[in-house]
A and B are shown apart, each in its own frame.
Chain A
Amino acid sequence: MARSITFIRTNYGLEQNAFPATAIIQWGSSDERENGSLYNSEVGPDGYSDAISKFVVGPIDSGSKFQFLWSLGDGDEARGYGKTSLLRYLARILNGDLGLSTLLANEFDEKEAKATPVIAAMGTFNTNDVTTLAAVCLEQVRYLAQPDAKSGVSPLMLVRERFLDQSGDELPADDEDDMGAAVAGVIKDRVKDTSLSLAGKTLGSPDRILLDHFATGNWRGLTGHLRESKAKDGFNLLSSVLVIARAAGVKRALLFIDQVEDFASADTPKKRRALEVERFRDIAIETQPFGDMTSFVLTMHPAAARAIEEYWSLARLPKIDHLMKQSERITVVLRAIKNVEDAEKLFESYLGKFRRKGTAFDSLHPFNRAAIRVILEERAGRAGPMLELAHHLIEEGAQQSWMKIGEEEVRQFVEPDGERNAPKASPRRRRIGALEGE
């Protein structure tokens, strides 16, 4: 059997299948199709600008601590609307220049934007090893230490650069051999001063090894240290990073927490849920520098919201209920893609990335508008499942040697085998007196 990729390159003008094989963002994957980095902020209803306004500008201006990201629409599921992609994209954009360009684009003047650096970190619950808030914090520290796949720069590297920019006068100028040690010394002193200046409850001094690696710019050592750290160290490590960031002048840390439904799953004992929600309050509000610097964005899911709301209310945290007036300014609701133009933009951002140079195909090839309309309808406007279906259509097209993928090909593919091949129902199997829809 011929390789599909050969057909895809020759007839579809693509380096490879441009779409992800699953509708699930793969954490840490270097595959751009799978890791959400091809997110297009111009697609669909205004989720991205709403997110900037409520998750970035709002917390800076009002100091709000908790924000919620929902995906609700006409579809039947709360998945696949792009919550994870949006947060990853937002974090990446913010960390690229510590929020400068985002703030400038949102009514901050240059002086104010420069004086308000922000960092954003992502962490995600799972049902395996990240089942506590401390474990999520460790994930977030690891995220901040991870270089961006494209720029090769991590948020912590940018924070260190900011130290160097700010500390120019304090650094020795002459002897370059001593430069590294001198810089490290200056950074450590400033971090320690910042730590000692914190009032109220803290988690103690910054993690010594983390600070050493950061101060000397030993990123390999830092990554190794974080890799070996245990979930229980998460709070202290994140606290250390926040103290470092604060010492470098960072004003706000946006902490994104994904997959809250895993934390709220029936497998998590109620006692642990209650305890973890209490910790949310203790850490996020009552511990420094979390209290001053952090703002949390949680992706919400109906079952998760129901499961944690009782404890959430008992801990006097803001209402999760997306319908309440008081929740409006802290809640972003992602909706399904409604029109085919937006669906086309979504497809173009993937196809464009993998389009072979010098090919003369149009930007949607091998798809056409009619095919994309069917895909949109078939997957109820949910971006993740639409992209997943596109992946399978490309593979099927290569197998079947479809020169294009139009409406007919899509319909043929999505029609369940059972419906296509099943014999007509026998008279005996008709349902006497059956009511429609039930």
Chain B
Amino acid sequence: MSTDTIPKLNRIEYLFDTLGAVEDGLSFDEIRKELIASQPESQGRKKAEKIDSLMTNTRDALRESMKLGLINKAPLPTLKKHLEAHRNRKFELTPEGVKFLKLASDVWEFRDRFAQAMLLAHPHFRSLVSVLSSGELYFPRIQRADVPGELGAWRGGLPEPLGKVSSWLTDEVQKATGEELSADRIESNLRPYLNAAWKKIDWDEKPNVVNKKIVKTFNDVSIRAILTERNLKFDCVTFRSAVALLSDLGALSNTHTVPGRRGWTVWKTSTVEIPQFVNNQSPAAQALEGKVWFNRLMRPEEEICDLLVEEFLSSSDRKGGFVLIHVLRAKVCHRLGIHSRDFDSTLRKMHDGSLVHAEYAINLDRGSSNEVPPSEQPFAIKGRAFYLMTLLNRKLMERN
């Protein structure tokens, strides 16, 4: 398996905005400030005001742009203490970078060819998309009660029997996806990663803090163990970045809210047929060649609209006539195998009346924000978040 450096970025916009900022001749520090300014408030724009905030994201975005062949190679700070030496450094677009920016007037072609460049540059991305082609990935979420033993005993070594955890993981995956994983192999995947993590735990912290860290460690390591079983060489952090970036590009979708599941589900929302390239060009140059071969899977909006209504009406989560939008989105997208963006787009059209369901109109509400977990993106219209929705019977509305 080849090595691959996945940029630790959670939004594709970091890369897009970096490209625009380089075109405008901004320095490293100005790009950093630009990326801070473009962050949604919910992701800490107000907090990110320190002199070195977002330094690593800026560096990773520039490094990735260089790797893709969009920006000419130049030195970058590796540590925050090196920032001063790079603060005023400026960067140059490659001819492919210029071509990509020209493409930006057609947003989808720009995004699709960008996805192509990322797939060409990252063998791990290609492996992930390939694995998803044969079925979704599911990572059950471990809770405190799933970890055997007590805090006192854990000081002496890993919770035992560890096989209990691996059996639970494989059972849950089997129930959710039908996929048979080997509990023994999962256990042997878990053990070395857990051993390494165990050495880093500060046992002098408060018991509740240690408990939380142990549960988090188990979850991080179990993701890695399941990925290893599928021949995917990601650690938990880079896997999250990969999913975030590929999701932003429409290659896959994911949620922690599929009903009946307690865990993270990732599924493909694209097909990819990478042509053979004989030249030694950069990923960006290759991605610009020929027809677009990265295809986002689409479903007709009417079909999404109908399923949205069907799932709403049968939802067990409906309380007081309202459902949480992110839960309904997870259901519909998972069932249709579509991207969450397509659901959001359909719902926006139903809201503005450009897409009409024959029997029901929709009503959105901003209440219940506290019920949306941080893992799920709130549904928004022009930056305004809505969390609840209900349907209104058109016949009744007309009668009144």
Contact = CB atoms under 8 A, between A and B. Distances in A.
Interface of A: 45-47, 50, 72-74, 76-78, 261, 266, 300-306, 308-310, 320-324, 328, 333, 335, 426-435, 437-438
Contacts of B192: none
Interface in B296-334: 313, 318-322
A77 B321 contact: no
Given A323-B393, A333-B400, A427-B24, A76 B320 contact: no
Most A CB atoms within 10 A — which of B344, B365, B370, B380? B365
B245 interface: no
A76 B104 contact: no
B391 interface: yes
B319 A76 contact: no
B313 to A, nearest CB: 8
Given A428-B20, A432-B101, A306 B322 contact: yes
Given A72-B390, A434-B13, A434-B16, 5 more contacts: A72-B392, A76-B384, A431-B13, A432-B104, A437-B344
Contacts of A320: 320-321
A40 B397 CA distance: 21
B114 to A, nearest CB: 7
Interface string B344-367: 110010000100000001011111
B227 interface: no
B18 to A, nearest CB: 9
B111 interface: yes
B345 A437 contact: yes
B126 interface: no
Given A76-B364, A306-B319, A438-B344, A433 B386 contact: no
Contact of A266 (B313, B370, B390): B370
B171 interface: no
A302 B111 contact: no
Contacts of B344: 437-438
Contacts of A428: 20-21, 24, 26, 34
A157 B353 CA distance: 51
Contacts of A261: 367
B388 interface: yes
B110 interface: yes
Contacts of B391: 323
A323 B321 contact: yes
Interface residues of B, number: 51
Interface string B365-399: 11110110000000011101010101111001100
A321 B320 contact: yes
- Give the one of B341, B368, B393, B400 with max A CB within 10 A: B400
B24 A302 contact: no
A430 B104 CA distance: 11
28 contacts: A47-B400, A72-B363, A72-B392, A78-B365, A302-B322, A302-B367, A303-B365, A303-B388, A305-B321, A306-B320, A306-B367, A309-B319, A320-B321, A321-B319, A322-B320, A323-B391, A323-B393, A333-B392, A426-B24, A428-B24, A431-B13, A431-B17, A433-B13, A434-B16, A435-B107, A437-B344, A437-B345, A437-B348
Contacts of A328: 396
B19 interface: yes
B367 A433 contact: no
Nearest to A76: B364
B231 interface: no
Contacts of A437: 344-345, 348, 381-382
Given A301-B367, A306-B320, A434 B20 contact: no
A74 B392 CA distance: 10
Given A74-B361, A333-B400, A300 B320 contact: yes
A45 B400 contact: yes
| Closest 7 A/B residue pairs (Cβ) | A305-B320, A303-B367, A302-B365, A432-B16, A306-B319, A321-B321, A428-B24
B320 A309 contact: yes
A433 B111 contact: yes
Given A50-B400, A431-B17, A77 B388 contact: no
A433 B114 contact: yes
A320 B114 CA distance: 49
B267 to A, nearest CB: 21
Contacts of B322: 302, 305-306
Interface in B11-31: 12-13, 16-17, 19-21, 24, 26
Contacts of B361: 74
A435 B319 contact: no
B38 interface: yes
Nearest to B320: A305
A340 B367 CA distance: 29
A429 B30 CA distance: 12
Contacts of B16: 431-434
